[in-house]
Amino acid sequence: MKNTEIRELPTKELVEMIEEQKSKMYNLRATHAISKIEQTHLLKSTKRLIARLKTELTKRQAHDQLQNS
């Protein structure tokens, strides 16, 4: 998912997506610990997607705080 697509998401959907990706990351790590997964790049890409989603959420929260002050 590209940053432009992330910016277009509503905040509620952004929070839901973060939770989904965290769950996916947990499952990938557990699977990788038990038996090596073939697509190890999924660990890195999922981790980066979570970071991008959290960054956008933080930007929105900071922007909302500035407007409320």
Give the tens place of pLDDT for each residue, 22-52.
Answer: 999 999 999 999 999 999 999 999 999 999 9
pLDDT at 48: 97
Which DSSP state fits 2? -
**Residue partners of 31: CB distance under 8 A and separation at least 6:** 37
Query: What's this model's pTM, rounded to 2 decimal places?
Result: 0.91
Question: Is residue 39 classed as helix, strand or coil in its secondary structure?
Answer: coil
Q: What is the mean pLDDT of the chain?
A: 95
pLDDT band of residue 69 (cuts 50, 70, 90) is: confident
For the chain, the domains span 3-68
Beta carbons within 10 angstroms of residue 51's beta carbon? 11
Token representation of residue 67:
């407007």
May I ask the CATH architecture of the domain 3-68? Orthogonal Bundle (1.10)
Residue 25, phi then psi, degrees to nearest 5:
-65, -40
Q: Look up tokens 């073939």; give the residue.
A: 38
**Does residue 68 surpass a pLDDT of 90?**
no
